[in-house]
Chains A and B, each alone.
Chain A
Amino acid sequence: MTAPLLDIAGLSVAYGGAPAVTDMTLTVRPGEIVTLLGPNGAGKSSLLRAIIGLIPATRGQITFAGKDLLALPAERRARRGIAYVPEGRRVFPGLSVEENLAVACQTTPSRATLAPAFAVFPQLSEHRRRAAWRLSGGQQQMLAIGRALVAQPRLILLDEPSLGLAPAIADQVFGALVEIARQGTAILLAEQSAARALRCAERGYILQRGRILVAGDTAALHRHLATDSALAPPSLPSDPPRATP
């Protein structure tokens, strides 16, 4: 089995003094999509923010590509190959589409360095000069993921990409995620919409009150969700799990 790209051991995170993540252990291997499921307040976003370094860990370890991350500030973690797409997209509103992509390049921006974003989301190329705040929610989500792609990351931390999107647009975004992973980039995907997440992920974790409740492949997660009425989304029974390669 491939060595984990991201290896988290016994991680705890506090938010405003209250524990948000407690003693979490998980791994992500190169090129796989791993999903984090759970209701609001389960600790998904806090975990992603702790991995990128926007909130400090109170204990535990985060190892990325064999190197300890905890001592590094967020900007250096990003430069090591981790990209973060937060909930609510948070594109730079006053920058154009092209500028939003260019500013995330770790090398000198050029047509070639921006190409991965336009290849995955061709719609963005029609709005190159448009200010990001003028884009629709779906376009902003594509831009946020595109911004992550141009940094040529080895791991993308993706927080609630379907939130606020029309179903067709959300499907398009999730289709792009599968394509991105196929090209070798690992994705750690936090989602409330279990149905969509389980269609594209290979395995995952169900979180509850900051702890891992269940870890396993998508079939195991499906089985657990089907029996837990508090976590199961209404659409779940009709969504078969994606076959693990």
Chain B
Amino acid sequence: MLMAQLLLNGLALGAAYALVALGFVVVLNTTSAVNFAHGEAVMVGGFLAVALTAILPPALTGNAFLLLPLVLIAMAALGLLLSWVAYMPLRHEAPTSVFVSTIAVGVILANGVNALFGAAPRTVPPLLAGGPFTLDTAVLGTLTISRQSVAIIATAILLIGGLTLLFTRTQLGRRLRATAQDPEMARAIGINTTAMIALSFALATALAGAAGLLLANQFFISPSEGGTLMLKAYIAVVIGGWGSLAGAVIGAMLIAMFEVVAAVWVSHPVAEGLLYATLFAILLLRPRGLFGEAAGRRA
């Protein structure tokens, strides 16, 4: 039963990490650039929720689920700004220019949040609270099901499902994918690739913000956390396969399982060492990552 408990907790953490990794891949695919400010965007999403909780009436903020649409919209706007400031002016320059510009934006975001909120870790209200939700946990035999964990998983499924539908069932999604696969040919068939790139930054940053909101209740959020989150997204994408959306989700889940499940069996430092050993093994055995072959066909 302990195993089931750990798996549930790991799934909740992995669901939030999956949103982070998906956002990272969405920008990676449309621009071929690594957005190093992505981790800070997750952190900003968490602090945005903290700020909204302080500003808005308690009736609206006691339940973080109600904050989610506001966080998504505000973070999408931040994503558009990020694309226009850190990517568009440098898109025809060497890739290192974008690396440096997004690192710079990340540092500005981290220090800006530190200046506004201080360095201490903060938390936001649970996703579902009050009203009919009178219990924080439900007990099923010896398994304690945290409502927040279930809500995190459900929210991530909703967002990932929405993203999947967008990419596979809409003309906008097809245009985003075409831009990701061959931007020059996308232009030649009439797609405004600049708009698609801006939109992918908006989508990615909105997903990062949602992840920040989900993580901030159970796991706290602090201004210096962006780098760690960025590294996790990067590892998830390397494990899953560079550019693969499904791979990013699987990679994120694997990281969370190491952090939650393996950490209980051994210890947190050993679990982290094992995670990197696994990453190394995957790189040796499948250099393109778990789903890298299919993604490689995109080019």
Contact = CB atoms under 8 A, between A and B. Distances in A.
B190 interface: yes
Given A90-B182, A94-B181, A95-B177, A54 B171 contact: no
B297 A94 contact: yes
B174 A94 contact: no
A147 B175 CA distance: 14
Contacts of B193: 75
B175 A103 contact: yes
Interface stretch (A78-86, A165-173, A211-219): A78-86
A131 interface: yes
B192 interface: yes
Interface in B173-223: 174-175, 177-178, 181-182, 184-193
A90 B178 contact: no
B298 interface: yes
A150 to B, nearest CB: 10
Q: How large is the interface on A (under 10, 10 to 19, 20 to 34, 35 or more residues)?
A: 20 to 34
Interface string B148-184: 0000000000000000000000010011011001101
A57 interface: no
Given A93-B181, A94-B177, A131-B297, A52 B188 contact: yes
B171 A90 contact: no
Contact of A54 (B174, B188, B295): B188
A109 B190 contact: no
Contacts of B175: 103
Interface string A134-161: 0000000000000100010000000000
Contacts of B191: 75, 103
A73 interface: yes
A104 B190 contact: yes
A220 B190 CA distance: 36
B185 A92 contact: yes
B232 to A, nearest CB: 26
Interface in B85-114: none
A147 B298 CA distance: 18
B184 A54 contact: yes
A151 B187 contact: no
Interface string A77-114: 01100011010001011110001001111101100000
Contacts of B171: 102-103, 105, 108-109
A109 B174 CA distance: 11
A176 interface: no
A92 B182 contact: yes
A66 B92 CA distance: 32
A151 B181 contact: no
Given A90-B182, A94-B177, A106 B190 contact: yes
Given A75-B188, A75-B191, A103-B178, 5 more contacts: A76-B190, A84-B189, A93-B298, A103-B175, A151-B189
Interface of B: 171, 174-175, 177-178, 181-182, 184-193, 294-295, 297-299
